[in-house]
Amino acid sequence: MGIWILNGFTVDADNEQTQRHICIEDGIIIQVINGGEAPDTAGHTVIDAAGKLVSPGFIDMHVHLREPGFEHKETIATGTLSAARGGFTTIACMPNTRPVIDTVDTVKLILDKAETEGAVRVLPYGCITKNELGRELTDFAALKEAGVIGYTDDGVGVQSAQMMKDAMNLAASLGMPIIAHCEDNTLVEGAPVTEGEFARKHGLKGIPNESEAIHVGRDVLLAEATGVHYHVCHVSTEQSVRLIRHAKQHGIKVTAEVCPHHLVLSDEDIPDLDANWKMNPPLRTPRDVQAVIEGLEDGTIDIIVTDHAPHAEEEKAKGMMLAPFGILGFETAFPLLYTKFVLTGQWTLGFLVDRLTAKPAEVFSLPWGKLEVGSPADITIVDLASEQEIKKSEIVSKSKNTPFIGWKLQGWPVVTIASGKVVWS
Ligand SMILES: NC(=O)N[C@@H](CC(=O)O)C(=O)O
Ligand SMILES: [Zn+2]
Ligand SMILES: [Zn+2]
C-alpha cells in the first residue's frame, strides 16, 4: 500500500507551478501525474494537498545534532524530529560532538543511531583535524570509507594555512569537499557580537568582519592551488561575499552557504543582552545583511543552511559574554524566509525552494532534492496560507534558544515524508 498526495502544486527554479498528483510506495516516488482529475486511489492512503506546495524534502547541509556527548542540548532523535517539523528530510551533521567525529567508530555510531532513532536522513561530516585541534589531520580515506560526505572543523577555524593546504590536497585526491568555518582567532579575542552599533552601545568588544574574510581569502587561494571543492560555511560579511564572487569569476571551485538569521537580522535588531541573539558568526551590520542577500540572489552564495545549534536554557542564561554561540534553525527557516522574502515579492517561491532542495543536492552531488519517478520519496507539503506565532512551548528541539519567539510567520510545513514515511504532520 502506498500514499497518494493529491492536488498539490510543485514549483521549479524558474517558478513554474504545476498541479500534480504524486504516488509513493516502498520509499520511492512511483507515479507523477500532471494536473487533471484525481486518479483512482483505491487501496492507498490519501493526503489531500489541495492549494498546498508539494516540495522535495528540504536539505540542510549544516546542522548540529549534539550526540554523542551533549545529549542535554539535543539528540539524534530530537534533532531529526525538529528537522522534520521544519520540512527537512536530509541533514548533514557537524562533527563538533564529544568525542568529535574524527574516527571510523564515531561515524558508525552516528549512522547507526540515525538509522534506528532518526526521523530523517543524516549525513555526517568528519573532522579535518584530530579533536578539531588544528594539529594533525584525521584519516580522510578511512572516514570517507566509513561514510562521511566531507571534512570540516566547524566550530573553529583551521588556523594554520599549511594544515589547510595539506587538508585540501588530501581531500582533492579523494574527490571530497572541504567545508570551512572561517575564523581567524587572533582577531576575535573573546568578543561576543560583531563590531558595530550594538557593541558600541553596550561597550562590548566586537568581532571584526576580517576575522571571517581573511580565512575566505586565504582559502580560495589554497583551493585554487589544490583544485579541491572548497565550501564556505555560514557567510556573514560583505567582504567574504566579495572574495567568493571574485574566486568564482576566476573559475575556482568554491561554493558557499548562508543562514536565515544572517539574511533577516542585523546587529541593530538585537534588543538587549539576551544570549539567544548570540551566534557565530554574529549578526552583522545592515550593510553586511544587504551584501549576503545580494550574494545569494546573484548566485555567489549557493545554498541556504540553518546551522541549527541547540544549547540548553541554563547555558544561554549565562548572558551575552559567557553563553555559548548558536541558535536553533530547523523549525523557523522556511516560514521566516517565505514571510520575509517571498511574501514581500523580493524572491519567487521557486527561488527559495530551489536553494533548499535542488541546489544543495547539486553542490554536494546528492541524489535527493527532486520529485521524479524513481526518486526517493522525500516530500514536504507546505501550507503557504497558514500563519502561526512561534511559541516556545511548540518547539520540538530539546533546546529553545531562538530569537524568533513571538514572531508571526506564514508558510508552515504541514506534512514531512522521509524515505516514504510520514515523519511529521
Ligand atoms: N554557529 C554557532 O554559533 N555555533 C555552532 C558552531 C559553529 O557553527 O561554528 C555550535 O556548535 O554551537
Ligand atoms: Zn561554524
Ligand atoms: Zn555550525
Model pLDDT for residues 292-337, shown as the tens digit of each residue:
999 999 999 999 999 999 999 999 999 999 999 999 999 999 999 9
Distance CA 87, CA 308 (A): 14
- What is the position in ligand 1's atom list of the atom closest to the CA of 234? 8
Distance CA 145, CA 229 (A): 19
User: Is ligand 1 within 6 A of the CB of residue 323?
Assistant: no
Supply the angle between the helices 161-174 and 209-226 in degrees, to the nearest 10: 50
- What is the position in ligand 1's atom list of the atom closest to the CA of 310? 12
Q: What is residue 38's predicted lDDT score, i.e. its pLDDT? A: 86
Q: How far apart are the first and last CA of the chain?
A: 19
Q: What is residue 357's predicted lDDT score, i.e. its pLDDT? A: 98
What ipTM describes this predicted complex? 0.99
Architecture of domain 57-363 in this structure: Alpha-Beta Barrel (3.20)
Query: Which residue CA neighbors atom 6 of ligand 1 most closely?
Result: 155
Model pLDDT for residues 225-241, shown as the tens digit of each residue:
999 999 999 999 999 99
Query: Cell numbers at residue 35, please?
Result: 494536473
Model pLDDT for residues 114-132, shown as the tens digit of each residue:
999 999 999 999 999 999 9
Q: Which of 102, 307, 354, 378 is catalytic?
A: 307
The answer to whether 288 is a known catalytic residue is no
Task: Inform me whether the pLDDT recorded for 75 exceeds 90.
Answer: yes
* 66 labelled ligand-binding: yes
Least distant ligand from the CA of 62: 3
Supply the angle between the helices 238-249 and 209-226 in degrees, to the nearest 10: 20
Binning pLDDT at 50, 70 and 90, where does residue 79 land? very high
Task: Inform me whether the pLDDT recorded for 106 exceeds 90.
Answer: yes
For residue 286, CA distances in Å to 6, 123, 272, 345 come to 43, 34, 17, 20
Q: What is residue 35's predicted lDDT score, i.e. its pLDDT? A: 87
Closest to 237 in 3D by CA, of 255, 257, 210 = 210
Tell me the residue type at 271: P
* 154 labelled ligand-binding: yes
Task: Inform me whether the pLDDT recorded for 395 exceeds 90.
Answer: yes
Percent of the chain with pLDDT over 90: 98
Binning pLDDT at 50, 70 and 90, where does residue 59 land? very high
Going by their DSSP bridges, the two strands 3-11 and 17-25 should be labelled as: antiparallel
**Distance (Å) from CA 3 to ligand 3 centroid:** 35
**Distance (Å) from CA 132 to ligand 3 centroid:** 13
* DSSP 8-state symbol, 308: B
Determine the Cα angle at 342 with ends 35 and 231, to 5°.
100
Q: How far is CA 343 from the centre of its chain?
A: 22
Model pLDDT for residues 165-201, shown as the tens digit of each residue:
999 999 999 999 999 999 999 999 889 999 999 999 9
Residue 208: asked if its preceding bond is cis (omega within 30°), the reply is no
Using only the alpha carbons of the chain, give its radius of gyration: 21
Mean pLDDT, range 339-356, rounded to an integer: 98
Query: Which residue CA neighbors atom 2 of ligand 1 most closely?
Result: 326
User: Is ligand 1 within 6 A of the CB of residue 74?
Assistant: no
Could you tell me the sign of the dihedral formed by the alpha carbons of 18, 7, 417, 333, in that order?
positive
User: Is ligand 1 within 6 A of the CB of residue 279?
Assistant: yes
User: Is ligand 1 within 6 A of the CB of residue 153?
Assistant: no
Q: Phi, psi (5° rounding) for residue 398?
A: -65, -30
User: Is ligand 1 within 6 A of the CB of residue 282?
Assistant: no
Model pLDDT for residues 285-303, shown as the tens digit of each residue:
999 999 999 999 999 999 9
400-417 in b/e form (b: 16+ CB < 10 A) is bbbbbeebebbbbbbbbb
**Distance (Å) from CA 51 to ligand 2 centroid:** 38
Distance CA 42, CA 48 (A): 14
User: What average pLDDT does the chain have?
Assistant: 98
Task: Inform me whether the pLDDT recorded for 377 exceeds 90.
Answer: yes
Q: Which residues contact 307 (CB under 8 A, 6 or more apart)?
A: 62, 63, 64, 233, 234, 259, 279, 326, 329
Domain 2-53+375-424, classified CATH 3.90.1150.10, yes or no: no
Mean pLDDT, range 205-215, rounded to an integer: 98
> Taking the domains of the chain in order of start, what are their residue ranges?
2-53+375-424, 57-363
Could you tell me the sign of the dihedral formed by the alpha carbons of 400, 402, 408, 410, in that order?
negative
* 202 labelled ligand-binding: no
Query: Cell numbers at residue 392, please?
Result: 516556545
Q: What is residue 1's predicted lDDT score, i.e. its pLDDT? A: 83
Distance CA 64, CA 93 (A): 5
Supply the angle between the helices 104-117 and 76-85 in degrees, to the nearest 10: 60
Least distant ligand from the CA of 315: 1
Model pLDDT for residues 146-165, shown as the tens digit of each residue:
999 999 999 999 999 999 99
Distance CA 166, CA 418 (A): 37
* 181 labelled ligand-binding: yes
Q: What is residue 358's predicted lDDT score, i.e. its pLDDT? A: 98
Q: What is residue 169's predicted lDDT score, i.e. its pLDDT? A: 99
